A and B are shown apart, each in its own frame.
Chain A
Amino acid sequence: MAFEMTPRFSSKDAVVCRGVGKTWAAGTKRAHEALRDIDLDIKPGEFVVFLGPSGCGKSTLLYLIAGLEDATEGRIWSFSEEVETPSPERSLIFQETSLFPWLTVWQNVSFGLSIRGASQEERRSVAAEALQRVGLIAAMDKRPDELSGGMRQRVAVARALAMRPKVLLMDEPFAALDVQTRARMQEFLLDVWRDSGASVLFVTHHIDEAVALADRVVVFTSRPGRIKTIVPVDLPRPRNLFSREAEAMRIQLTELLRDEVDRAFAEQEAFAVPA
């Protein structure tokens, strides 16, 4: 996994952000700057984790890269094409579960294929394969309502994988899982990542998770989110998370985050008490 510490424009990169900014409700009284001056290059096959205080704009950045929202500043490219609309090449897994309640698990997983008009047999076999990977093959014919929160999130992962995306955007996908399941899901995600060769952009609040997964960790400032620093994680894979290097990494990231979280809280409190 080759990567450079200094971002450099390259048209073959999986994602390139240049001067990206987002102001929600721009031009109105409720204008709200969420992101400012984001420059970011993500190589094909790279695993990048976004770390930052709550509300700093991590989800917003994923939305912009997915093409679901338009940036108010700057430009975004993916594989040398400018991002203007959503594309099946960039799958987004949302922070909240977002399965279609009226479809069964396997129909949810193969929704993207049905959009393309694939036959029922093909859809079912692709869904079965994707569900196999998340360990939910037995739940194939259930409805989302009948699943636990963690199971639903795994179905969402399977649904994104079934699209065979080149860029996988994941917004805190494992936040609702218990520690054991989360560890399993991380291993599984690393397997999938290695097999598929896709780039992964992964948002998390968990420093452990960042250290376990990332090639690089992008640390954000509090709102408006800017890139505070990008920390390369030079630990060999498979990783020993109890090694001294891993521990040092966690301490470094914790320090980096603490200031920003303090600042975010101070700001949000000032926000709550009208001056």
Chain B
Amino acid sequence: MAVVTRDGDTATAAGASRPAAASRPMASRLFASRLFSSMAGLDLLARIWWTCLSISLFAGLWEFCWAMGWADPKLLPPPHIFLGNIAEQGKFFNTATRWQVGSSMTEGPSAFESVLITAGATTARVFVGLVLASVLAIGVGVLVRYHRVFDRLVLPTITLLSPVSPIAWLPVAIFLFGIGNAPAIFMVVVALFFHMVLATINQIDGVNGNLINVARTMGASKPQIYARVIVPAILPGMLAVLRLNLFGAWMVVLVAESTGVGYGIGQVIMLARNTFNPSLVFFTIAIIGVLGFVFDWLLRIAQRRILYWLPDTTERLRGL
């Protein structure tokens, strides 16, 4: 404990050693209690239980309508039909591999694998696009506020382009990148980038001026102020923006895929539409739903990890 040995004063030493020594076991105890305490476990179980209940209720209602004959199984097939036969549904997935010259229906990945490959490919595009867009947007946003000339040069164009619907960029994506992963990722980046730049600038302008002034009085340089005050201060807002834009990213990637840009879930939806296959449509919707749910959940975990200092406010309004 360097704190103690450096300081001759015994009072300071005694005082200083206490919290430092206490902090480590406390931290590990906290960690353990988070993971293993029955309370936390019960909490998680309860949340899973409610999620399952919520979904079962919805599915049950649907099945009920089908059983009563209100829902036409040809148009609105209930979950047990469209989820029941993955082998049948899997035929339509990962068609890119299947349609390669020389591959027959029996070669290549199994139906289940096909579904996984397709879903994985789409997810990867969303993920890569999201990361690229965030890094670019935060970088450009910070630069806009950092350099006045850059601001003047770049901001008008960004403001002009931000209201353009990402769908309008689709032809551009195809002109520039042809088919494959690149155009789909490009679409995700374009859909998020402009909004996120403006959001970053907004967040920077909203940083508490006192925090910046504290750093200034302590002799921090401009780069130090940006790196140590402004970026951490805008992170919470930026992650919130990212989570809100996740929806947009999924929408755009499906559109990009459905217009023949590469292969993926979007393409399967298009196939289902063109072949009038409601069962496949609902199967794909279910997959997208699950993927979106998992994605949001992972992002929330990341958010809690990165923003360790924010108090948990989810329960704040419960007692009202």
Q: Which residues of A contact B (CB under 8 A)?
A: 66-68, 85-88, 90-92, 94, 96, 98, 100-103, 111-112, 114-116, 121, 124-125, 128-129, 132, 137-141, 143, 145, 159, 163
Contact = CB atoms under 8 A, between A and B. Distances in A.
Contacts of B149: none
Nearest to A121: B2
B210 A86 contact: no
A112 B218 contact: yes
20 contacts: A68-B213, A68-B216, A87-B217, A94-B213, A100-B232, A112-B219, A115-B215, A115-B220, A125-B2, A125-B6, A125-B16, A128-B12, A128-B15, A138-B15, A138-B18, A139-B19, A140-B20, A141-B19, A143-B309, A159-B214
Classify chain B: how many residues form its interface, as a range.
Answer: 20 to 34
Given A88-B217, A121-B2, A137 B15 contact: yes
Given A98-B210, A141-B19, A143-B309, A115 B216 contact: no
B7 interface: yes
Contacts of A92: 213-214, 217
Contact of B219 (A94, A116, A128): A116
Nearest to A139: B19
Contacts of B211: 98, 100
B85 interface: no
A145 B311 contact: yes
Contacts of B215: 111, 115
Contacts of B16: 125, 128, 132, 137, 140
Interface in B15-66: 15-16, 18-20, 23
Given A98-B210, A124-B2, A138-B18, A129 B12 contact: yes
B208 interface: yes
A68 B217 contact: yes
B105 interface: no
A99 B23 CA distance: 21
B224 interface: yes
SS of B interface (majority): helix
B229 interface: yes
Interface string B193-234: 000000000000000101101111111100010001100110
B3 interface: yes
B216 A86 contact: yes
A112 B228 CA distance: 11
A1 to B, nearest CB: 26
User: Which of B15, B19, B211 has most chain A Cβ within 10 Å?
Assistant: B19
Given A98-B208, A132-B15, A132-B16, A90 B217 contact: yes
A124 B210 contact: no
Contacts of A111: 214-215, 218, 228
B218 A163 contact: yes
A91 B217 CA distance: 6
A68 B218 CA distance: 11
A124 B23 CA distance: 14
A109 B228 CA distance: 14
B232 A86 contact: no
Contacts of B3: 121, 124-125, 128
Contacts of A116: 219
B214 A98 contact: yes
A155 B218 CA distance: 15
